[in-house]
């Protein structure tokens, strides 16, 4: 093997090692963040239950739960990227879908909580809700198409 090819392989292995170290670091940060959010969510739930204030704080708790789910999906995405050494689109779409749904839930809950909104605030709310809805539908369609594409390719691999 020529020396230039050996140098390229050495550099490529070095970049792969750096990539692995970054993925492991990201995984540790995401796992720690998820655990901290989970513990604080359990504490918040307990405080709301003892103070009998859960009905008024359920939106904040739901927001926290969806944030934890989002962080876990990001952790899963990092895990797949670490294992495959490439970007797989499906986990990113799931993260985007969860984030979109989270925003819709928080947005509608916040809007419902405050009565007598001015017309311009209502118009912004409706526009954001429409854009988020279209985004969520587009991500769901993308996920369905990706899964169908994988299903179509599976028989080809068997041959």
Determine contact, residues 94/69, Cβ cutoff 8 Å. no
The torsion region of residue 88 among left (phi > 0), alpha (psi -120 to 50) and beta comes to beta
Helix then strand count (H, E) for the chain reads 4, 0
> Is pTM, for the whole model, over 0.95?
no
Determine contact, residues 98/69, Cβ cutoff 8 Å. yes
Check residue 112 and give its pLDDT.
72
- Domain range for residue 100? 3-158
Band of the pLDDT at 55, cuts 50, 70, 90? confident
Answer yes or no: is pLDDT of 36 > 60. Answer: yes
Determine contact, residues 137/159, Cβ cutoff 8 Å. no
* Nearest-5° Cα angle at 82, 66 to 74: 10
Q: State pLDDT tens for residues 94-133.
A: 889 988 988 898 888 777 766 677 888 888 888 999 999 9
């Amino acid at each position: 093997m020529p020396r230039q090819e050996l140098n390229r392989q050495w550099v490529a292995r070095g970049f792969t090692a750096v990539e692995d170290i970054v993925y492991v670091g990201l995984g540790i940060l995401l796992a720690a963040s998820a655990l901290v959010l989970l513990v604080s969510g359990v504490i918040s739930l307990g405080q709301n239950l003892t103070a009998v204030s859960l009905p008024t704080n359920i939106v904040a708790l739901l927001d926290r739960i969806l944030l934890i789910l989002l962080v876990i999906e990001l952790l899963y995405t990092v895990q797949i990227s670490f294992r495959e050494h490439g970007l797989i689109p499906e986990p990113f779409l799931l993260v985007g879908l969860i984030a979109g749904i989270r925003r819709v839930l928080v947005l509608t809950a916040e809007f419902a909580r405050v009565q007598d909104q001015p017309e311009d605030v209502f118009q912004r709310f409706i526009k954001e809700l429409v854009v988020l809805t279209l985004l969520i539908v587009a991500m769901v369609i993308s996920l369905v198409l990706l899964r169908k594409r994988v299903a179509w390719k599976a028989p080809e691999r068997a041959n």
